[in-house]
Structure 1
Amino acid sequence: MVTAVGYFHQRDIPKDLAPQLEGQSLDGIFIDLKQMYPQGPVLIYFWATWCPYCRIVSPAVAELSQEYQVIGIAMQSGSKEVVAEYMRNHDIAFPSLNDPQGILTAQWGVKVTPTLLIVGTDGKIAWVTTGATSKLGLQLRLKMTK
């Protein structure tokens, strides 16, 4: 059952090459996925301020961002200021792009929060996980990704 639900949630996510992903992060830094993945795997984290599971996953992603490349996508969570304040108030820090209208989310075929993808050094999506997950599980996937 879990596998069927996971597959259903992931049905529109690209199966091969990662779509383009670039923009200015909440802290003003330009992010370009194509420039990042040749340096090592990139964890892309689609999350929302209103997502209860994200409150569990976000601190783990913030910790992983100390060792690995991370791009957060704040899905339909309000203005840049609202999302930045939420991150400060919850003591979570990782580079994040704001997606108030869900445009990036739709381009990536993401349907649920949280959704985590790992892009390998070849630009291909190596892993997709939806729902709550552990820091250890993500860390192992990142270590196995080339």
Structure 2
Amino acid sequence: MKSSIITDVKHFRLCGLAATVAAVAVACAAGLADAPKPGTVAPGIIGTTADGKVVSLKEELKNGPVLVYFISTTCPVSRIATPQYTKYAKAYQAQGIKVIGVVNSGKDGFLKWNEAHAAPYPVVLDPGYKVIRSYGVEKAPSSALISKDGKVVKFWSGFSRGFLEETSAASAKALGKAPIKIDFKGAPANWMAG
């Protein structure tokens, strides 16, 4: 009889733990959309840069496709990815692809990140995670290529050399051009995310 009570208590604790984990998972996911599927209309983006400029996805799309790059200021993988996305931006912005960075930090973290990285593209603050949630971003870094007509070409969760090469190829296709050869030296061969 004694072992039966112990078994029941252990079972009760295990079920309680499972219920707690499930409740936390549901609470964390609240308000998080699914990542946008190719061909669907991209969620809007309106944000402010460190120097106070308002950036709008709708306005940027008037000039061509846009790559949205989602950054976590405290994520070591984002620190590795940012120089690679800078290479991409320098290569493709001259061809007509715009890049918008979206940072998940408060203003202090945002300003420190901005100062440390001096990105050659506008980076906007998303302190309430409205944009990040609307894109279903669960991992940092992530990125989404948006066609000139405002539709998602592809969404990448995480980061690798292969993802960067896919991004380059998809960007070239969106422009109707051949892919630009970019040396993604330093990018991991295997998928990474924070």
- TM-score bracket for this pair, using the shorter chain length: 0.7 to 0.9
Structure 2 counterpart of 1:144, one-letter code: K
Quick one: higher RCO (CA 8 Å, sep 6+), 1 or 2?
A: 1
Query: Which has more helix, going by share of residues?
Result: 2
Does the C-alpha gap of structure 1 residues 100 and 142 become closer, same or farther in structure 2, counting only changes over 3 Å?
same
Counterparts of 2:174 and 2:128, CA distance in 1? 31
What is the distance in 2 between the residues matched to 1:121 and 1:92? Answer: 22
Contact 2:47 2:125 in 1 (8 A): no
Q: Which residue of 2 aligns with 1:14?
A: 36
Residue number in structure 1 paired with 2:101: 72
| Alignment gaps of 5+ in structure 2 | 1-32, 176-194
% identical equivalent positions: 28
Give 1:102's match in structure 2, choosing from 104, 107, 129: 129
1:87 and 1:93 in contact (8 A); partners too: no
Give the 4+ runs in structure 1 shifted more than 4 A.
Answer: none
Deviations 1:5-26 (A, max 9, x none): xxxxxx8022200111112222
> Is the Cα contact below 8 Å between 1:71 and 1:96 reproduced in 2?
yes
- RMSD of Structure 2 on Structure 1 (CA): 2.0
Match of residue 68 from structure 2: 44
Counterpart contact for 2:140–2:158, Cα < 8 Å: yes
TM-score in terms of structure 1 length: 0.80
Residues 22-48 of structure 1: CA deviation (Å, up to 9, x unaligned)? 122223222111122232210001111
Task: Decide which structure has greater strand share.
Answer: 1
Q: How many residues align?
A: 134
Q: Which moved more, 1:118-127 or 1:49-58?
A: 49-58
Say yes or no: does 1:25 pair with 2:49. Answer: yes
